[in-house]
Structure 1
């Protein structure tokens, strides 16, 4: 199980425990820390400010993912906690810099389990927090799990839906031509149908978000079936 922090409107960060979920993200920036510290130094404050400006400029519907890391010095448990404290520091600083609290979607720690530089000694490059925008689900059981807000309908969502539609259509054709008509072929058909419906609805349609969620979920199932 993995610890996480939930952001609430009062700008307090409450500890919680959830089942492991892989959150892939497009990294927007990195904040580095001094040894055994969870406080921002001058360079770290500048890095946070640059990331905040980027986040405020993209106007994305995707939630922000903040992940803390440490170097290899110290125990696994201590570093897991230190990484989480660093991630919380950055999340609070982003909110203070004007990033909407609603956009902070996932705060977690990888501790020393994912070193950027493979050394056993202290290295500032490993003492970091990454900030990015989450990809929507690596897999899902139901489209209702897909977290797309009702206000997300727009060019970015349409582009993501069209990309999945094109990929699903291409994958289905390849699977059909190769004679592979198993689960992946079926999921490619489902993703093509759901994404096609989502793409065909205009941004003002009350079903745009619902079918976009169906599209993302079917496409995630397709990706799982292809593995």
Structure 2
């Protein structure tokens, strides 16, 4: 038991110092905290159980994103650390409720930089941690960065692959019609190819996971190229 707890603690510490990959998340729930506290009260414990139940019911391949926030009282540096401590508290509590450690994709803090209620005084609604599922990747250095395992293969993944294939194909047609042949055009072609291969493979194919990762990575690069 002690070895398991130490392993979880080491995992959480490593995540805190890792560069975040996920850019946005579908929020599944919020946990609130008392003033200047990173400990769960009775309400927070109930919120944790509710969020854990939702995550288990969804059974998604997408990583869980945990983000800590504070109210406006105190320095920026102190609140950044406090937000991270709160996020770690929630992540540990979710693991204790049965959410696998490897499903926690990113733990981060925004401190007091993103107030829910725009007031300079202490406000419990601002003292929160949000828990959600990652939706898109902001950047992709390599397809190996994408956290998809064989257990992710299923209807949800297939739907996302087909969605990215459709969007990449439409984007490429639009760029062809416009006569533009820049980075976005090249990324549209790569995303169309990778997502097409991933979507076309059977669920039991040993290459399904690899090409799914390639699809997600190429599509993320396409979105960046289009914005630029």
Name the TM-score, length of structure 1 as normaliser: 0.91
C-alpha displacement at 1:210, in angstroms? Answer: 0.8
Write the deviation string for residues 90-122 of structure 1: whole angstroms up to 9, x where unpaired: 112112222122212211111111111221111
Q: Which residue of 2 aligns with 1:176?
A: 176
Is 1:185 the counterpart of 2:182? The answer is no
Q: Do the aligned residues in 2 keep the contact of 1:136 with 1:146 (CA within 8 Å)?
A: no
Q: Which residue of 1 aligns with 2:215?
A: 215
For the residues of structure 1 that align with 2:153 and 2:125, how far apart are their CA atoms?
A: 38
- SS of the aligned residue for 1:71 comes to coil
Q: Which residue of 2 aligns with 1:72?
A: 72
- SS of the aligned residue for 1:129 comes to strand
Q: Which residue of 2 aligns with 1:106?
A: 106
Q: Which residue of 2 aligns with 1:42?
A: 42
Q: Which residue of 2 aligns with 1:120?
A: 120
Gap regions ≥5 residues in structure 1: 1-6
Q: Which residue of 2 aligns with 1:3?
A: none
CA gap 1:101/1:199 in 2 versus in 1, 3 angstroms:
same
Q: Do the aligned residues in 1 keep the contact of 2:65 with 2:133 (CA within 8 Å)?
A: yes
Write the deviation string for residues 142-185 of structure 1: whole angstroms up to 9, x where unpaired: 21221211221111111111110000011111111122222111
Q: Do the aligned residues in 1 keep the contact of 2:22 with 2:106 (CA within 8 Å)?
A: no
How many residue pairs match? The answer is 221
The correspondence of residues 130-145 of structure 1 with structure 2, limited to 5 A, is 130-145=130-145
Q: Which residue of 2 aligns with 1:53?
A: 53
C-alpha displacement at 1:10, in angstroms? Answer: 3.2
Q: Do the aligned residues in 2 keep the contact of 1:56 with 1:99 (CA within 8 Å)?
A: yes
Structure with more helix by fraction: 2
Match of 2:13 among 15, 18, 22: 15
For the residues of structure 2 that align with 1:209 and 1:76, how far apart are their CA atoms?
A: 41
Q: Do the aligned residues in 1 keep the contact of 2:76 with 2:112 (CA within 8 Å)?
A: yes
C-alpha displacement at 1:18, in angstroms? Answer: 3.2
- SS of the aligned residue for 1:62 comes to coil
Q: Which residue of 1 aligns with 2:224?
A: 224
For the residues of structure 2 that align with 1:58 and 1:155, how far apart are their CA atoms?
A: 12
Gap regions ≥5 residues in structure 2: none
Name the TM-score, length of structure 2 as normaliser: 0.91
For the residues of structure 2 that align with 1:118 and 1:57, how far apart are their CA atoms?
A: 34
Q: Which residue of 2 aligns with 1:97?
A: 97
For the residues of structure 2 that align with 1:201 and 1:136, how far apart are their CA atoms?
A: 22
Q: Which residue of 2 aligns with 1:152?
A: 152
